[in-house]
Amino acid sequence: MSQPFDLSRFPDLPPEVVKAFAAMQSELTVERAARQHEQAVGAEKDVFITELQALIAKLEGQVQDYRRTKFGPKSEKLDPAQLELALEDLEAAIAETQEQITLVEEKIAAANPEQPAPRRPRKARELPDNLPQIERVIEPADITCPCGCGDMVRIGEDRARRLDYIPARYQVIVTVRPKYACPKGRTGVVQAKAPAHLLEASWPTEALLAQIAVAKYSEHMPLHRQAVVMARHGVPIERSTLADWMGRTGALIAPVVDHMAKRLLSDSTRLYVDETTAPVLDPGRGKTKTGYLWAVLRDDRGWKGTAPPGVVFHYRPGRKGEYAAEILAGFNGTIQIDAYGAYTHLATPKREGGDPLRLAFCWAHGRRKLIKAIPKKGSPIVDEALLRIAALYKIEDSIRGSDPEHRRDIRQSLSRPLVDEFFTWLTAQAARVSRKSDLGAAMAYMLRRQEGFRLFLEDGQVDIDSNLVENAIRSPALNRRNALFAGHDEGGANWASYASLIGSCKMNGIDPCAYLTDLFTKLANGHLKKDIDDLMPWAYAQRNTTSE
Protein backbone atom coordinates (compact mmCIF):
# COMPACT_ATOMS: atom_id res chain seq x y z
CA MET A 1 0.00 0.00 0.00
CA SER A 2 1.43 3.44 -0.97
CA GLN A 3 2.44 5.75 1.88
CA PRO A 4 0.69 9.16 2.20
CA PHE A 5 2.59 12.14 0.78
CA ASP A 6 4.61 13.90 3.59
CA LEU A 7 4.31 17.72 3.22
CA SER A 8 6.60 18.38 6.19
CA ARG A 9 9.62 17.83 3.94
CA PHE A 10 8.63 20.93 1.93
CA PRO A 11 8.14 23.75 4.46
CA ASP A 12 8.28 26.49 1.81
CA LEU A 13 5.20 25.40 -0.16
CA PRO A 14 2.53 28.07 -0.64
CA PRO A 15 -0.52 27.72 1.67
CA GLU A 16 -2.92 27.11 -1.23
CA VAL A 17 -0.79 24.15 -2.39
CA VAL A 18 -0.74 22.68 1.11
CA LYS A 19 -4.52 23.05 1.31
CA ALA A 20 -5.01 21.34 -2.07
CA PHE A 21 -2.79 18.45 -1.07
CA ALA A 22 -4.69 18.05 2.22
CA ALA A 23 -8.03 17.92 0.38
CA MET A 24 -6.68 15.34 -2.05
CA GLN A 25 -5.35 13.23 0.84
CA SER A 26 -8.77 13.36 2.55
CA GLU A 27 -10.57 12.21 -0.60
CA LEU A 28 -8.15 9.29 -0.97
CA THR A 29 -8.75 8.27 2.65
CA VAL A 30 -12.56 8.37 2.20
CA GLU A 31 -12.33 6.43 -1.05
CA ARG A 32 -10.10 3.83 0.56
CA ALA A 33 -12.47 3.47 3.53
CA ALA A 34 -15.47 3.11 1.21
CA ARG A 35 -13.68 0.46 -0.80
CA GLN A 36 -12.74 -1.47 2.33
CA HIS A 37 -16.34 -1.23 3.59
CA GLU A 38 -17.67 -2.48 0.27
CA GLN A 39 -15.26 -5.41 0.38
CA ALA A 40 -16.31 -6.22 3.96
CA VAL A 41 -20.01 -6.02 3.03
CA GLY A 42 -19.43 -8.23 0.01
CA ALA A 43 -17.63 -10.82 2.12
CA GLU A 44 -20.44 -10.72 4.68
CA LYS A 45 -23.05 -11.13 1.93
CA ASP A 46 -21.12 -14.10 0.54
CA VAL A 47 -21.29 -15.72 3.98
CA PHE A 48 -25.03 -15.04 4.19
CA ILE A 49 -25.64 -16.36 0.66
CA THR A 50 -23.72 -19.55 1.45
CA GLU A 51 -25.80 -19.96 4.62
CA LEU A 52 -28.98 -19.29 2.65
CA GLN A 53 -28.11 -21.88 0.00
CA ALA A 54 -27.48 -24.47 2.73
CA LEU A 55 -30.83 -23.70 4.37
CA ILE A 56 -32.69 -23.93 1.05
CA ALA A 57 -31.10 -27.32 0.37
CA LYS A 58 -32.11 -28.39 3.88
CA LEU A 59 -35.70 -27.22 3.29
CA GLU A 60 -35.92 -29.09 -0.01
CA GLY A 61 -34.82 -32.27 1.72
CA GLN A 62 -37.38 -31.81 4.49
CA VAL A 63 -40.17 -31.21 1.99
CA GLN A 64 -39.18 -34.39 0.11
CA ASP A 65 -39.22 -36.34 3.39
CA TYR A 66 -42.67 -34.92 4.18
CA ARG A 67 -44.09 -35.87 0.78
CA ARG A 68 -42.53 -39.31 0.95
CA THR A 69 -43.93 -39.91 4.44
CA LYS A 70 -47.43 -38.67 3.63
CA PHE A 71 -47.93 -39.73 0.02
CA GLY A 72 -45.26 -42.28 -0.82
CA PRO A 73 -45.62 -46.08 -0.72
CA LYS A 74 -43.89 -46.20 2.67
CA SER A 75 -46.86 -44.47 4.25
CA GLU A 76 -48.83 -47.65 3.59
CA LYS A 77 -46.52 -49.47 6.00
CA LEU A 78 -46.70 -46.84 8.74
CA ASP A 79 -49.33 -47.09 11.43
CA PRO A 80 -51.89 -44.30 10.78
CA ALA A 81 -51.69 -43.12 14.37
CA GLN A 82 -47.91 -42.96 14.27
CA LEU A 83 -48.08 -41.24 10.87
CA GLU A 84 -49.83 -38.21 12.38
CA LEU A 85 -47.12 -37.87 15.03
CA ALA A 86 -44.39 -38.12 12.39
CA LEU A 87 -46.05 -35.55 10.14
CA GLU A 88 -46.43 -32.95 12.87
CA ASP A 89 -42.73 -33.20 13.71
CA LEU A 90 -41.81 -32.81 10.03
CA GLU A 91 -44.15 -29.82 9.68
CA ALA A 92 -42.54 -28.18 12.70
CA ALA A 93 -39.06 -28.77 11.25
CA ILE A 94 -40.11 -27.25 7.90
CA ALA A 95 -41.54 -24.17 9.63
CA GLU A 96 -38.33 -23.75 11.64
CA THR A 97 -36.18 -23.89 8.49
CA GLN A 98 -38.46 -21.42 6.70
CA GLU A 99 -38.09 -18.98 9.59
CA GLN A 100 -34.29 -19.36 9.49
CA ILE A 101 -34.34 -18.61 5.74
CA THR A 102 -36.39 -15.47 6.36
CA LEU A 103 -33.91 -14.22 8.98
CA VAL A 104 -30.96 -14.73 6.61
CA GLU A 105 -32.82 -12.95 3.80
CA GLU A 106 -33.38 -10.00 6.13
CA LYS A 107 -29.64 -9.90 6.94
CA ILE A 108 -28.78 -9.88 3.22
CA ALA A 109 -31.27 -7.06 2.62
CA ALA A 110 -29.82 -5.05 5.54
CA ALA A 111 -26.34 -5.40 4.02
CA ASN A 112 -27.62 -3.98 0.73
CA PRO A 113 -29.92 -1.01 1.52
CA GLU A 114 -30.35 -0.15 -2.18
CA GLN A 115 -32.24 -3.41 -2.74
CA PRO A 116 -35.58 -3.59 -0.85
CA ALA A 117 -36.03 -6.53 1.49
CA PRO A 118 -38.27 -9.32 0.15
CA ARG A 119 -41.74 -9.31 1.64
CA ARG A 120 -42.63 -12.39 3.62
CA PRO A 121 -45.56 -14.24 2.06
CA ARG A 122 -48.57 -14.38 4.35
CA LYS A 123 -50.98 -17.26 4.35
CA ALA A 124 -54.59 -16.26 3.78
CA ARG A 125 -56.31 -17.58 6.91
CA GLU A 126 -59.56 -16.60 8.54
CA LEU A 127 -60.30 -16.94 12.22
CA PRO A 128 -63.72 -18.39 13.17
CA ASP A 129 -66.43 -15.76 13.40
CA ASN A 130 -68.02 -17.37 16.45
CA LEU A 131 -65.07 -16.54 18.73
CA PRO A 132 -65.54 -13.64 21.16
CA GLN A 133 -63.66 -10.53 20.06
CA ILE A 134 -62.05 -7.89 22.23
CA GLU A 135 -61.24 -4.68 20.38
CA ARG A 136 -58.43 -2.45 21.58
CA VAL A 137 -57.76 0.91 19.94
CA ILE A 138 -54.21 2.29 20.03
CA GLU A 139 -54.24 6.08 19.54
CA PRO A 140 -51.16 8.20 18.72
CA ALA A 141 -49.61 9.98 21.68
CA ASP A 142 -50.38 13.36 20.08
CA ILE A 143 -52.73 14.28 17.21
CA THR A 144 -51.95 17.98 17.17
CA CYS A 145 -51.29 19.07 13.59
CA PRO A 146 -47.76 20.53 13.11
CA CYS A 147 -49.19 23.29 10.85
CA GLY A 148 -51.04 24.77 13.79
CA CYS A 149 -54.59 24.22 12.48
CA GLY A 150 -55.65 22.18 15.51
CA ASP A 151 -56.21 18.42 15.89
CA MET A 152 -55.80 16.03 12.96
CA VAL A 153 -58.95 14.27 11.69
CA ARG A 154 -59.36 10.51 11.45
CA ILE A 155 -59.22 9.33 7.82
CA GLY A 156 -59.04 5.55 8.22
CA GLU A 157 -57.63 2.71 10.27
CA ASP A 158 -55.66 -0.51 10.10
CA ARG A 159 -57.01 -3.69 11.69
CA ALA A 160 -55.03 -6.78 12.71
CA ARG A 161 -56.57 -9.93 14.18
CA ARG A 162 -54.60 -12.27 16.44
CA LEU A 163 -55.65 -15.39 18.29
CA ASP A 164 -55.31 -15.23 22.07
CA TYR A 165 -55.63 -17.83 24.82
CA ILE A 166 -57.18 -17.49 28.27
CA PRO A 167 -55.73 -20.11 30.65
CA ALA A 168 -58.15 -22.62 32.15
CA ARG A 169 -59.78 -21.46 35.35
CA TYR A 170 -61.33 -23.64 37.98
CA GLN A 171 -64.06 -22.28 40.21
CA VAL A 172 -66.14 -23.52 43.11
CA ILE A 173 -69.93 -23.35 42.78
CA VAL A 174 -71.50 -22.91 46.18
CA THR A 175 -75.16 -23.91 46.21
CA VAL A 176 -77.11 -22.14 48.94
CA ARG A 177 -80.66 -23.31 49.79
CA PRO A 178 -82.24 -21.00 52.35
CA LYS A 179 -84.73 -22.50 54.79
CA TYR A 180 -87.96 -20.71 55.63
CA ALA A 181 -90.31 -21.32 58.50
CA CYS A 182 -93.39 -19.74 60.04
CA PRO A 183 -92.29 -17.15 62.61
CA LYS A 184 -94.99 -18.47 64.93
CA GLY A 185 -93.99 -22.08 64.45
CA ARG A 186 -97.37 -23.15 63.06
CA THR A 187 -96.12 -24.86 59.85
CA GLY A 188 -93.16 -26.83 58.63
CA VAL A 189 -89.95 -25.67 57.00
CA VAL A 190 -89.84 -24.67 53.30
CA GLN A 191 -86.69 -25.22 51.29
CA ALA A 192 -85.90 -25.61 47.57
CA LYS A 193 -85.11 -29.12 46.42
CA ALA A 194 -81.40 -29.82 46.00
CA PRO A 195 -80.35 -30.07 42.34
CA ALA A 196 -79.50 -33.55 41.11
CA HIS A 197 -75.86 -34.41 40.40
CA LEU A 198 -74.41 -37.30 38.45
CA LEU A 199 -72.00 -38.17 41.26
CA GLU A 200 -73.80 -37.37 44.47
CA ALA A 201 -71.68 -36.30 47.46
CA SER A 202 -68.71 -35.65 45.14
CA TRP A 203 -66.99 -32.45 44.05
CA PRO A 204 -67.16 -32.47 40.25
CA THR A 205 -69.89 -30.83 38.23
CA GLU A 206 -71.15 -32.53 35.09
CA ALA A 207 -69.12 -30.08 32.98
CA LEU A 208 -65.88 -30.96 34.80
CA LEU A 209 -66.54 -34.70 34.38
CA ALA A 210 -67.10 -34.15 30.66
CA GLN A 211 -63.87 -32.19 30.34
CA ILE A 212 -61.83 -34.91 32.08
CA ALA A 213 -63.38 -37.63 29.92
CA VAL A 214 -62.76 -35.76 26.65
CA ALA A 215 -59.19 -34.92 27.66
CA LYS A 216 -58.49 -38.59 28.40
CA TYR A 217 -60.35 -40.38 25.62
CA SER A 218 -60.32 -37.81 22.82
CA GLU A 219 -57.24 -35.66 23.46
CA HIS A 220 -55.20 -38.60 24.76
CA MET A 221 -54.16 -37.10 28.12
CA PRO A 222 -53.83 -39.84 30.77
CA LEU A 223 -55.28 -38.98 34.15
CA HIS A 224 -51.90 -38.60 35.84
CA ARG A 225 -50.99 -35.88 33.33
CA GLN A 226 -54.33 -34.17 33.91
CA ALA A 227 -53.63 -34.24 37.66
CA VAL A 228 -50.33 -32.43 37.00
CA VAL A 229 -52.11 -29.76 34.91
CA MET A 230 -54.83 -29.28 37.52
CA ALA A 231 -52.22 -28.88 40.25
CA ARG A 232 -50.48 -26.23 38.13
CA HIS A 233 -53.79 -24.33 38.11
CA GLY A 234 -54.08 -24.56 41.87
CA VAL A 235 -56.34 -27.62 42.13
CA PRO A 236 -54.31 -30.49 43.63
CA ILE A 237 -56.46 -33.56 43.03
CA GLU A 238 -54.97 -37.04 43.08
CA ARG A 239 -54.97 -39.19 39.96
CA SER A 240 -56.77 -41.91 41.92
CA THR A 241 -59.63 -39.49 42.57
CA LEU A 242 -59.94 -38.69 38.86
CA ALA A 243 -59.91 -42.43 38.13
CA ASP A 244 -62.72 -42.95 40.64
CA TRP A 245 -64.81 -40.29 38.88
CA MET A 246 -64.21 -41.81 35.45
CA GLY A 247 -65.02 -45.32 36.66
CA ARG A 248 -68.31 -44.28 38.22
CA THR A 249 -69.38 -42.25 35.19
CA GLY A 250 -68.35 -45.15 32.95
CA ALA A 251 -70.85 -47.38 34.74
CA LEU A 252 -73.59 -44.77 34.34
CA ILE A 253 -73.10 -44.30 30.58
CA ALA A 254 -72.91 -48.05 29.84
CA PRO A 255 -76.71 -48.40 29.28
CA VAL A 256 -76.57 -45.52 26.75
CA VAL A 257 -73.77 -47.19 24.79
CA ASP A 258 -75.53 -50.58 24.93
CA HIS A 259 -78.67 -49.01 23.49
CA MET A 260 -76.68 -47.29 20.78
CA ALA A 261 -75.14 -50.64 19.82
CA LYS A 262 -78.60 -52.21 19.56
CA ARG A 263 -79.81 -49.36 17.36
CA LEU A 264 -76.91 -49.81 14.96
CA LEU A 265 -77.63 -53.52 14.63
CA SER A 266 -81.42 -53.27 14.31
CA ASP A 267 -81.73 -50.16 12.12
CA SER A 268 -78.99 -50.85 9.57
CA THR A 269 -78.60 -52.94 6.43
CA ARG A 270 -74.86 -52.44 6.11
CA LEU A 271 -72.16 -51.97 8.75
CA TYR A 272 -68.41 -51.54 8.83
CA VAL A 273 -66.52 -53.77 11.26
CA ASP A 274 -62.87 -53.67 12.27
CA GLU A 275 -60.75 -54.32 15.33
CA THR A 276 -57.65 -52.82 16.91
CA THR A 277 -55.46 -53.93 19.78
CA ALA A 278 -56.12 -52.62 23.29
CA PRO A 279 -53.27 -53.72 25.59
CA VAL A 280 -54.52 -54.47 29.11
CA LEU A 281 -52.53 -55.05 32.28
CA ASP A 282 -52.61 -58.62 33.55
CA PRO A 283 -52.07 -58.17 37.32
CA GLY A 284 -51.46 -61.85 37.96
CA ARG A 285 -48.38 -61.90 35.71
CA GLY A 286 -47.28 -58.29 36.05
CA LYS A 287 -47.36 -57.96 32.27
CA THR A 288 -49.79 -56.78 29.63
CA LYS A 289 -52.08 -58.97 27.60
CA THR A 290 -53.60 -58.11 24.25
CA GLY A 291 -57.26 -57.20 24.33
CA TYR A 292 -59.18 -55.81 21.36
CA LEU A 293 -61.56 -52.98 20.62
CA TRP A 294 -64.04 -54.16 17.99
CA ALA A 295 -65.56 -51.24 16.10
CA VAL A 296 -69.03 -51.42 14.55
CA LEU A 297 -69.73 -48.34 12.45
CA ARG A 298 -72.65 -47.03 10.41
CA ASP A 299 -72.30 -44.22 7.90
CA ASP A 300 -74.83 -44.17 5.06
CA ARG A 301 -74.05 -40.66 3.84
CA GLY A 302 -72.08 -42.06 0.90
CA TRP A 303 -75.35 -43.24 -0.70
CA LYS A 304 -77.73 -40.60 0.73
CA GLY A 305 -78.97 -42.86 3.50
CA THR A 306 -81.10 -41.21 6.17
CA ALA A 307 -79.87 -43.17 9.20
CA PRO A 308 -77.58 -41.03 11.39
CA PRO A 309 -73.91 -42.05 11.56
CA GLY A 310 -72.47 -43.64 14.66
CA VAL A 311 -69.80 -46.01 15.94
CA VAL A 312 -69.72 -48.37 18.90
CA PHE A 313 -66.57 -49.98 20.28
CA HIS A 314 -66.80 -53.31 22.07
CA TYR A 315 -63.95 -54.45 24.28
CA ARG A 316 -63.16 -58.15 24.16
CA PRO A 317 -60.15 -60.02 25.58
CA GLY A 318 -59.30 -61.57 22.20
CA ARG A 319 -59.80 -61.63 18.45
CA LYS A 320 -61.61 -64.94 18.02
CA GLY A 321 -64.51 -65.45 15.67
CA GLU A 322 -66.84 -66.12 18.58
CA TYR A 323 -66.45 -62.48 19.66
CA ALA A 324 -67.44 -61.27 16.19
CA ALA A 325 -70.50 -63.53 16.29
CA GLU A 326 -71.45 -62.27 19.74
CA ILE A 327 -71.07 -58.59 18.81
CA LEU A 328 -73.03 -58.91 15.55
CA ALA A 329 -75.80 -61.13 16.91
CA GLY A 330 -79.17 -59.94 15.62
CA PHE A 331 -77.79 -58.10 12.60
CA ASN A 332 -78.77 -59.21 9.10
CA GLY A 333 -77.20 -57.58 6.07
CA THR A 334 -73.74 -56.73 4.77
CA ILE A 335 -70.56 -56.08 6.71
CA GLN A 336 -67.58 -54.28 5.20
CA ILE A 337 -64.41 -55.85 6.54
CA ASP A 338 -60.73 -56.47 5.84
CA ALA A 339 -61.18 -60.20 5.08
CA TYR A 340 -59.92 -61.30 8.50
CA GLY A 341 -60.81 -64.97 8.97
CA ALA A 342 -62.85 -64.40 12.15
CA TYR A 343 -65.75 -63.18 10.01
CA THR A 344 -65.83 -66.05 7.53
CA HIS A 345 -68.19 -68.30 9.49
CA LEU A 346 -70.72 -65.46 9.71
CA ALA A 347 -71.43 -65.90 5.99
CA THR A 348 -72.42 -69.57 6.31
CA PRO A 349 -75.81 -71.14 7.08
CA LYS A 350 -74.32 -72.33 10.39
CA ARG A 351 -74.27 -68.80 11.71
CA GLU A 352 -75.99 -68.40 15.07
CA GLY A 353 -77.74 -65.16 15.87
CA GLY A 354 -79.07 -64.34 12.44
CA ASP A 355 -79.06 -65.04 8.73
CA PRO A 356 -75.81 -65.54 6.80
CA LEU A 357 -74.11 -62.18 6.33
CA ARG A 358 -72.72 -60.84 3.09
CA LEU A 359 -69.01 -60.02 3.34
CA ALA A 360 -67.75 -57.04 1.34
CA PHE A 361 -63.96 -56.98 1.30
CA CYS A 362 -61.83 -53.85 1.35
CA TRP A 363 -59.91 -52.95 -1.81
CA ALA A 364 -57.66 -50.65 0.22
CA HIS A 365 -56.45 -53.67 2.21
CA GLY A 366 -55.81 -55.62 -0.97
CA ARG A 367 -53.88 -52.68 -2.39
CA ARG A 368 -51.89 -52.35 0.84
CA LYS A 369 -50.87 -55.99 0.77
CA LEU A 370 -49.56 -55.58 -2.77
CA ILE A 371 -47.54 -52.53 -1.74
CA LYS A 372 -46.03 -54.34 1.25
CA ALA A 373 -44.94 -57.13 -1.08
CA ILE A 374 -42.89 -54.86 -3.38
CA PRO A 375 -39.29 -56.14 -3.57
CA LYS A 376 -36.44 -53.68 -3.00
CA LYS A 377 -35.81 -53.50 -6.74
CA GLY A 378 -39.46 -52.69 -7.44
CA SER A 379 -42.14 -54.66 -9.26
CA PRO A 380 -43.82 -53.85 -12.61
CA ILE A 381 -46.65 -56.19 -11.58
CA VAL A 382 -47.47 -54.15 -8.49
CA ASP A 383 -47.13 -50.89 -10.42
CA GLU A 384 -49.70 -52.00 -12.96
CA ALA A 385 -52.00 -53.42 -10.26
CA LEU A 386 -52.00 -50.07 -8.46
CA LEU A 387 -52.87 -48.25 -11.68
CA ARG A 388 -55.79 -50.61 -12.31
CA ILE A 389 -57.09 -50.15 -8.75
CA ALA A 390 -56.64 -46.37 -9.00
CA ALA A 391 -58.97 -46.36 -12.02
CA LEU A 392 -61.70 -47.95 -9.86
CA TYR A 393 -61.23 -45.28 -7.20
CA LYS A 394 -61.59 -42.53 -9.80
CA ILE A 395 -65.03 -43.88 -10.64
CA GLU A 396 -65.92 -44.09 -6.93
CA ASP A 397 -64.95 -40.46 -6.43
CA SER A 398 -67.43 -39.43 -9.12
CA ILE A 399 -70.41 -41.23 -7.54
CA ARG A 400 -69.79 -40.61 -3.85
CA GLY A 401 -72.96 -39.16 -2.33
CA SER A 402 -75.23 -40.42 -5.12
CA ASP A 403 -78.27 -42.62 -4.57
CA PRO A 404 -77.76 -46.43 -4.56
CA GLU A 405 -79.38 -47.03 -7.95
CA HIS A 406 -77.12 -44.54 -9.70
CA ARG A 407 -74.05 -45.93 -7.97
CA ARG A 408 -74.92 -49.47 -9.03
CA ASP A 409 -75.63 -48.47 -12.64
CA ILE A 410 -72.29 -46.65 -12.99
CA ARG A 411 -70.43 -49.54 -11.42
CA GLN A 412 -72.09 -52.05 -13.71
CA SER A 413 -71.23 -50.08 -16.83
CA LEU A 414 -67.78 -48.72 -15.92
CA SER A 415 -66.31 -50.61 -12.95
CA ARG A 416 -67.37 -54.20 -13.74
CA PRO A 417 -65.29 -54.46 -16.96
CA LEU A 418 -62.26 -53.09 -15.07
CA VAL A 419 -62.72 -55.58 -12.23
CA ASP A 420 -63.13 -58.49 -14.66
CA GLU A 421 -59.97 -57.47 -16.50
CA PHE A 422 -58.11 -56.97 -13.21
CA PHE A 423 -58.74 -60.48 -11.90
CA THR A 424 -58.07 -62.06 -15.30
CA TRP A 425 -54.77 -60.20 -15.47
CA LEU A 426 -53.96 -60.97 -11.79
CA THR A 427 -54.55 -64.68 -12.37
CA ALA A 428 -52.09 -64.66 -15.27
CA GLN A 429 -49.46 -62.79 -13.21
CA ALA A 430 -49.89 -65.07 -10.20
CA ALA A 431 -49.00 -68.06 -12.39
CA ARG A 432 -45.58 -66.46 -13.02
CA VAL A 433 -44.77 -65.74 -9.35
CA SER A 434 -43.89 -68.18 -6.57
CA ARG A 435 -46.79 -68.66 -4.17
CA LYS A 436 -44.31 -68.68 -1.29
CA SER A 437 -43.10 -65.16 -2.07
CA ASP A 438 -44.65 -62.09 -0.46
CA LEU A 439 -45.97 -60.95 -3.82
CA GLY A 440 -47.46 -64.36 -4.57
CA ALA A 441 -49.21 -64.38 -1.18
CA ALA A 442 -50.57 -60.86 -1.77
CA MET A 443 -52.03 -61.82 -5.14
CA ALA A 444 -53.47 -65.06 -3.74
CA TYR A 445 -55.12 -63.00 -0.96
CA MET A 446 -57.22 -61.14 -3.52
CA LEU A 447 -57.80 -64.04 -5.92
CA ARG A 448 -59.20 -66.32 -3.19
CA ARG A 449 -61.65 -63.60 -2.12
CA GLN A 450 -62.95 -62.43 -5.49
CA GLU A 451 -66.58 -62.76 -4.48
CA GLY A 452 -66.17 -60.36 -1.56
CA PHE A 453 -64.11 -57.90 -3.61
CA ARG A 454 -66.80 -57.89 -6.32
CA LEU A 455 -69.74 -57.34 -3.97
CA PHE A 456 -69.63 -53.54 -4.24
CA LEU A 457 -70.51 -53.90 -7.96
CA GLU A 458 -73.90 -55.45 -7.11
CA ASP A 459 -75.02 -53.17 -4.28
CA GLY A 460 -75.05 -49.38 -4.43
CA GLN A 461 -75.11 -49.18 -0.64
CA VAL A 462 -71.75 -50.94 -0.35
CA ASP A 463 -68.48 -48.99 -0.54
CA ILE A 464 -65.30 -50.07 -2.27
CA ASP A 465 -63.35 -50.14 1.00
CA SER A 466 -63.69 -49.98 4.77
CA ASN A 467 -61.61 -46.84 5.24
CA LEU A 468 -64.34 -45.14 7.27
CA VAL A 469 -64.03 -47.58 10.13
CA GLU A 470 -60.24 -47.47 9.90
CA ASN A 471 -60.42 -43.71 10.39
CA ALA A 472 -62.69 -44.20 13.39
CA ILE A 473 -60.26 -46.51 15.20
CA ARG A 474 -57.37 -44.05 14.86
CA SER A 475 -58.44 -42.11 17.94
CA PRO A 476 -58.38 -45.16 20.26
CA ALA A 477 -55.05 -46.10 18.68
CA LEU A 478 -53.61 -42.69 19.57
CA ASN A 479 -54.97 -43.07 23.09
CA ARG A 480 -53.25 -46.44 23.27
CA ARG A 481 -49.91 -44.86 22.36
CA ASN A 482 -50.24 -42.25 25.09
CA ALA A 483 -51.67 -44.43 27.86
CA LEU A 484 -49.77 -47.59 26.76
CA PHE A 485 -52.39 -49.94 28.23
CA ALA A 486 -55.59 -50.16 30.25
CA GLY A 487 -55.20 -51.28 33.83
CA HIS A 488 -57.85 -54.01 33.73
CA ASP A 489 -60.45 -55.64 31.47
CA GLU A 490 -63.04 -53.36 33.05
CA GLY A 491 -60.79 -50.43 32.17
CA GLY A 492 -60.86 -51.65 28.57
CA ALA A 493 -64.67 -51.69 28.65
CA ASN A 494 -64.72 -48.15 30.06
CA TRP A 495 -62.32 -47.11 27.31
CA ALA A 496 -64.68 -48.62 24.71
CA SER A 497 -67.75 -46.83 26.13
CA TYR A 498 -66.21 -43.39 25.99
CA ALA A 499 -64.64 -44.07 22.58
CA SER A 500 -68.13 -44.93 21.30
CA LEU A 501 -69.77 -41.71 22.50
CA ILE A 502 -66.89 -39.44 21.49
CA GLY A 503 -66.43 -41.15 18.12
CA SER A 504 -70.15 -40.79 17.35
CA CYS A 505 -70.03 -37.12 18.35
CA LYS A 506 -67.23 -36.51 15.87
CA MET A 507 -69.13 -38.31 13.09
CA ASN A 508 -72.19 -36.11 13.76
CA GLY A 509 -70.16 -32.89 13.89
CA ILE A 510 -70.85 -32.03 17.53
CA ASP A 511 -68.56 -31.06 20.40
CA PRO A 512 -67.99 -34.16 22.57
CA CYS A 513 -67.56 -32.04 25.69
CA ALA A 514 -70.88 -30.24 25.17
CA TYR A 515 -72.66 -33.53 24.45
CA LEU A 516 -71.24 -35.30 27.52
CA THR A 517 -72.16 -32.35 29.74
CA ASP A 518 -75.72 -32.55 28.43
CA LEU A 519 -75.78 -36.35 28.79
CA PHE A 520 -74.47 -36.29 32.36
CA THR A 521 -77.02 -33.65 33.32
CA LYS A 522 -79.87 -35.69 31.83
CA LEU A 523 -78.66 -38.89 33.50
CA ALA A 524 -78.51 -37.07 36.84
CA ASN A 525 -82.14 -36.05 36.38
CA GLY A 526 -83.36 -39.56 35.56
CA HIS A 527 -83.75 -39.11 31.80
CA LEU A 528 -82.48 -42.65 31.19
CA LYS A 529 -85.84 -44.07 32.31
CA LYS A 530 -87.88 -41.52 30.35
CA ASP A 531 -86.54 -41.60 26.77
CA ILE A 532 -83.21 -43.29 26.15
CA ASP A 533 -83.36 -42.55 22.40
CA ASP A 534 -83.15 -38.86 23.23
CA LEU A 535 -79.72 -39.50 24.80
CA MET A 536 -78.11 -40.67 21.57
CA PRO A 537 -75.39 -38.41 20.10
CA TRP A 538 -77.30 -38.05 16.83
CA ALA A 539 -80.41 -36.91 18.76
CA TYR A 540 -78.32 -34.21 20.43
CA ALA A 541 -76.96 -33.19 17.01
CA GLN A 542 -80.48 -32.96 15.57
CA ARG A 543 -81.68 -30.79 18.47
CA ASN A 544 -78.76 -28.41 18.05
CA THR A 545 -79.30 -28.19 14.29
CA THR A 546 -83.02 -27.50 14.77
CA SER A 547 -82.39 -24.83 17.42
CA GLU A 548 -79.97 -23.02 15.13
Bridge partner list, 360: 336
Residue 382 has pLDDT above 80, yes or no: yes
Residue 524 inside a domain? The answer is: yes
- Let me know if residue 532 belongs to a domain: yes
245-280 pLDDT per residue, tens:
988 899 899 999 999 999 999 999 999 999 988 776
Q: Read off the pLDDT of residues 47-98 as tens digits, 9 standing for 90 and up.
A: 778 888 888 888 888 788 777 777 765 545 555 555 665 676 677 777 778 8
Greater pLDDT, 485 or 177: 177
> Which strands, in side-by-side order, build the sheet including 270-282?
310-316, 287-298, 270-282, 334-337, 358-361
For the stretch 496-513, pLDDT in tens is 999 999 999 999 999 999
When mean pLDDT is compared across 30-39, 406-415, 452-461, the lowest value belongs to 30-39
**Is there a domain that residue 40 lies in?**
yes
In a domain, 491, yes or no: yes
SS3 of residue 534 by DSSP: helix
Domain end, chosen from 39, 63, 87, is at: 63
The reply to whether 148 falls in a domain is no
In a domain, 318, yes or no: yes
* Residue 135 resides in a domain: no
Judge whether residue 6 has pLDDT over 90: no
Give the domain range for residue 50.
1-63
Rounded-to-integer distance, Cα 61 and Cα 348, Å: 53
Q: Does the pLDDT of residue 141 top 80, yes or no?
A: yes
Question: Within a domain: residue 184?
Answer: no
Number of structural domains found in the chain? 2
Q: Which of 63, 85, 112 is the last residue of a domain?
A: 63
Res 25 pLDDT > 70: no
Q: End of a domain among 63, 91, 117?
A: 63
pLDDT tens column, 93-140:
777 788 778 888 877 777 766 665 555 555 556 788 888 899 999 999
The backbone torsions φ and ψ at residue 316, rounded to the nearest 5 degrees and listed phi first, read -135, 150
How far CA 131 is from CA of 140, 166, 215, in Å, comes to: 28, 12, 21
pLDDT digits (tens, 9 = 90+) for 294-338: 999 999 999 999 999 999 999 998 888 999 999 999 999 999 999
When pLDDT is cut at 50, 70 and 90, the band that residue 182 belongs to is very high
Q: Which contiguous run of DSSP H or E holds residue 276?
A: strand 270-282
Question: Taking residues 390-395, what's their average pLDDT?
Answer: 96
